[in-house]
Structures are given as structure tokens and as C-alpha cells.
Amino acid sequence: MTIREVLLSVDGVEATYNHAIRALSGVNLTVRTGEIVALLGANGAGKTTALKALCGLLAAERGQITAGRIRYDGEDIAQRSPAELVRAGLVQVLEGRHCFRSLSVEDNLIVGGQARGWSRAALRRELERVYTLFPRLRDRRGSLAGLTSGGEQQMTAIGRALMARPRLLVLDEPSMGLAPLVVESIFAALTALNRDEGLTLLVAEQNSTVALRHAHRAAVLENGRTVLDGAADALRDRDDIKAFYLGVGLGAAA
């Protein structure tokens, strides 16, 4: 792969909740245009907090960034509102899917496009694009999202984010609670987007096997700091990944 421009860089970011509970104590991360980057780590390692920090969502959970810098597309974005970031193309699919449960699948998608203020024709085009990527959603477009299956909800959540035409799509545990076949098909769709449209992806996963199979590079978080960073295929075979993943292998790279 050729060296490409840095789209997102996270430098020494620290964060707390309620100014008291320390959640991140030194996260470093670089995502280049066109890459798929996996963010790995055990439960509670700080993956979700890190992703929320870079999408401006920490404040909504009484969290705050206390140190470090986050740059997206060359600009410092620590103080930007989520709405501004979405318009700039930085969109997150939250952990646990978070569909609008009492809205239809199609209305979920339409809300996803609202930040962009699409015209009627553009909205049609974007919907068509999502339905082509996830044909299941076309069949279920009229169903309430809360009544669809877990996989369909994950597709709805991803489709909703795609409606804003992201440049960097951030996904938090997209495989959580889903059957392996469904996980495969979702990752296949994401990989296709990356390959065909050059969409850059940052994926946090506990399921390191799946994530490393699709990612170009990966970073590992432990206790709120980055402990390992490298090419995905190099990390794939290393046992200490497993150790970090389980949270027992201290020190090796810290």
C-alpha cells in the first residue's frame, strides 16, 4: 500500500468522566485515508471512550478530554460539536446499534441524512445506495427498527451513518451479539465500501480475529492507553495480542 495522507490523528489523549473517573490515559492513533484500522482491547480498555472522544460525544455522557490532541483532516476537532463533525464526514456507528426503535427502517436512514440537508432527489439517491449495499433493508424498509433482527438493526445503524456520506466511518463493536455469518456479511459490505469507494474505516472490536482479517492496521488499547500499534497481518499471528486482549500480558510493549 502506498503512503497516504493522515486523515485522523490522536495524540496522547486523556479523558475523564465527571472530572473524576479516569477513562483514558494516553491514546495514540493514526488513520490514513483509505485505510481500515482496527482498535482492539478487552472490555473496559477504553475503546468506546476513545471513539466517543474523537466524535465529540463525550460531553453527552458527562465526559471530558483533559489532555492531548485530536486532529481530523488537518484541524483540531476537540471542541467541535458532533453535528459539525458529521457534516465534515466523521460519523460514528455507536456500540449496541442505537437504532431509533420506534421509527421505521427507512425513517432511520432519512434521519441519518438530515445533517447533510439532502434535497429530495439526493435523499432518494442516498437511500438507493444504502439499499443496494444492504438489500435486506429494502425488504424491511417499512418495519419499525425495534422489531427487526439484531443483524438488520446493525445494518440500519450502518446505513444510517452512510446516509451522511462519511469520509471516515467509525464503528464501535459492529459484531457484538451477532451470528458469525451475519458478522461476515457486514464486514464484507464494509470492506467493499473501502475497496470500491475508498471509505476510510476505524473499527473497535473485541472480536480481534474478525477485525484483524479485514483491517490493514491495528492498535491495541489496555487500561486506557495505546500499548501496541502495527500492520494487521503482523499482529494477526502474535500471541501477545491474545494476552493483551485478555488483559494479562502487561509490560511487553508499554
Partner 1 sequence: MDWSFFTEVLVGGLLSGVMYSLVAIGFVLIYKTSGVLNFAQGALLLFAALTFVSLTERGLPFWAGIALTLAAMTAIGALIERTVLRPLVNQPPITLFMATLGVSYVIEGAAQLLWGTQVHGLDLGIDDLPLEIGGVLISTFDLFAAAVAGAMVAGLTLFFRYTRIGLGFRAVADDPLAALAVGLSLDRIWTAVWTASGVVALVAGLLWGARLGVQFSLSLVVLKALPVLVLGGFDSIAGAIVGGLIVGAVEKLAEVYAGPLVGGGIEGWIAYVAALGFLLIRPAGLFGAKPVERV
Q: Catalog residues that contact partner 1 under the rule CB under 8 A.
A: 55, 57, 59-62, 81-83, 85-87, 91-94, 98-103, 107-108, 110-112, 114-116, 144-149, 157, 160-161, 163-164
117 vs 251, beta carbon nearer partner 1:
117
Query: CB 40 → partner 1: shortest distance, Å?
Result: 22
Query: CB 228 → partner 1: shortest distance, Å?
Result: 28
Counting beta carbons within 10 angstroms of the beta carbon of residue 107, is it exposed (0 to 12), middle (13 to 18) or buried (19 or more)? Answer: middle
CA dihedral in degrees (136, 137, 139, 144; nearest 10)? 130
61 vs 197, beta carbon nearer partner 1:
61
Amino acid at 182: V
Spatial contact of 95 and 44, defined as CB atoms under 8 Å apart: no
Distance CA 110, CA 48 (A): 26
Query: CB 182 → partner 1: shortest distance, Å?
Result: 15
Query: CB 6 → partner 1: shortest distance, Å?
Result: 23
Distance CA 216, CA 214 (A): 7
- Measured CA to CA in angstroms, residue 71 lies from 28, 80, 164, 226 at distances of 11, 11, 20, 17
- The DSSP H or E segment spanning 194 is helix 180-197
Query: CB 60 → partner 1: shortest distance, Å?
Result: 6
DSSP string, 54-113: HTT-SGGGTEEEEEEEEEETTEE-TT--HHHHHHTTEEEE-TT----TTSBHHHHHHHHH
134 vs 245, beta carbon nearer partner 1:
134
48 vs 226, beta carbon nearer partner 1:
48
Distance CA 191, CA 40 (A): 18
140 vs 225, beta carbon nearer partner 1:
140
116 vs 138, beta carbon nearer partner 1:
116
Query: CB 66 → partner 1: shortest distance, Å?
Result: 17
